[in-house]
């Protein structure tokens, strides 16, 4: 029966494993606590209990893998510098000290496993500020040691030139490693042939060393590229002029349409006003005709006013006499 302590340890390990896989697949920014809890089959309270935040959890993930890796790297570099002191050390020796421990951990499931190289490639190729700051704070001394070793291995290359070349070469290599696990990466390099890890690393080292030792661009190289830039600028200028001409034509067409619409609107307003006046006149005529018809149809007696004359007293007396 498992104790509470071992159960808590299992939960923490599941959270770290789930976070590591998600980070390797989608990077730091896209890794969410909800995805972690779903993949680790734990609730959010367990994540908060063990780590309190996503950043603390990611620190634990990276330290769990990169701290042992860098410890092995520095130990192997010490051994290489003791074996080949000073400028006798070669670029292959330094590259070996940098990548042999990573290949060893990728072969050992207990400390990394086949997906370890993908994790390593993701760490060095992830552009999120959190990962970049973490590497700067935790592994700057390690990088400084290896930079000095590369400087002794390639003394003819100025340090400032070595810096950006080394960063470019290792970033490109990290991008390759981030896309494939070790089991998929080896066949791509071996092309079906039987190769040891040393052969594979020799091929990788050859590509990195080619970048580090490539000759400085000549005047002809600069002139050729400058000509291409000038052609590109001319093409861009023509495209910009074409866009401006098209925009000007569109503005002129829009203004013409607006003027035409305004003219048609004035004509329509005048027509509407004339129609309105005609309707009013017609309505007035109809009303006057209706009034005349009403007057004409009235009875004659209704239309004739009764005329009253003063009465004759003699007639009044005769009518009264007859009644009596």
pTM over 0.85: no
Domain annotation covers residue 227: no
Q: Residue 48 in contact with residue 36, Cβ under 8 Å? A: no
Q: Residue 306: helix, strand or coil by DSSP?
A: coil
Domain annotation covers residue 279: no
Domain annotation covers residue 3: no
Q: Residue 84 in contact with residue 101, Cβ under 8 Å? A: no
The CATH number linked to 201 is: 1.10.357.10
Dihedral (Cα; 211, 214, 219, 222), 10-degree rounding = -10
Q: What is the pLDDT of residue 212?
A: 83
- Cα distance between residue 41 and residue 38, in whole Å: 5
Domain annotation covers residue 119: yes
Domain annotation covers residue 141: yes
Please give the structure tokens belonging to residue 201.
Answer: 């690393």
Domain annotation covers residue 309: no
In degrees, rounded to 5, the angle at the alpha carbon of residue 107 between the alpha carbons of residues 101 and 109 is: 110
Print pLDDT tens along the chain (324 aa).
444 444 667 899 999 999 999 999 999 999 999 999 999 999 999 999 999 899 999 999 999 999 999 999 999 999 999 999 999 999 999 999 998 998 888 888 888 887 888 888 888 888 899 999 998 888 888 989 999 999 999 998 888 899 889 888 887 777 676 666 556 666 666 666 676 777 777 877 888 888 888 877 888 888 898 999 999 999 999 999 988 888 888 887 877 777 776 776 666 667 666 666 666 666 665 666 555 555 555 554 444 444 444 555 556 555 665 555
DSSP 109-131: TTTT-TTHHHHHHHHHH---HHH
User: How many domains is the chain built from?
Assistant: 1
Domain annotation covers residue 58: no
Domain annotation covers residue 95: yes
- Cα distance between residue 49 and residue 57, in whole Å: 11
pLDDT digit string (tens) for 45-61?
999 999 989 999 999 99
> Residue 198's domain spans which residues?
65-215
Q: Tokens 């993701």 sit at which residue? A: 122
Q: What is the pLDDT of residue 216?
A: 79
């Amino acid at each position: 029966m498992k104790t509470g302590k071992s159960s808590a340890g299992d939960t923490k390990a599941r959270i770290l494993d789930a976070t590591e896989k998600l980070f390797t697949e989608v990077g730091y920014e896209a890794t969410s606590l909800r995805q972690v809890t779903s993949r680790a089959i734990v609730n959010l309270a367990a994540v908060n209990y063990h780590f309190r935040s996503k950043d603390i959890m990611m620190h634990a993930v990276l330290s769990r893998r990169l701290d042992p890796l860098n410890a092995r790297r520095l130990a192997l570099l010490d051994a290489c510098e003791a074996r080949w002191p000073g400028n006798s050390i070669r670029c292959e020796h330094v590259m070996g000290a940098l990548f042999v421990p990573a290949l060893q951990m990728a072969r050992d499931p207990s400390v990394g496993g086949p997906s370890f190289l993908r994790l390593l490639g993701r760490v060095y190729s992830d552009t999120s500020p959190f990962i970049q700051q973490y590497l700067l704070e935790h592994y700057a001394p390690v990088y400084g040691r290896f930079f000095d070793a590369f400087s002794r291995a390639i003394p003819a290359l100025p340090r400032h030139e070595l810096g950006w070349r080394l960063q470019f070469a290792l970033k490109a290599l990290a991008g390759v490693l981030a896309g494939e696990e070790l089991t998929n990466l080896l066949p791509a390099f071996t092309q079906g042939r039987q190769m040891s890890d040393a052969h594979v690393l020799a091929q990788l080292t050859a590509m990195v060393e080619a970048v580090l030792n490539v000759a400085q661009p000549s005047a002809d190289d600069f002139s050729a590229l400058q000509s291409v830039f000038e052609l590109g600028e001319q093409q861009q200028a023509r495209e910009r002029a074409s866009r401006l001409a098209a925009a000007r034509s569109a503005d002129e067409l829009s203004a013409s349409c607006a003027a035409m619409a305004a003219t048609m609107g004035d004509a329509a307003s005048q027509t509407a006003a004339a129609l309105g006046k005609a309707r009013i006149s017609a309505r007035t005529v109809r009303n006057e005709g209706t009034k005349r018809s009403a007057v004409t149809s009235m009875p004659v007696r209704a239309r004739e006013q009764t005329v009253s004359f003063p009465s004759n007293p003699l007639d009044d007396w005769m009518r009264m006499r007859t009644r009596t």
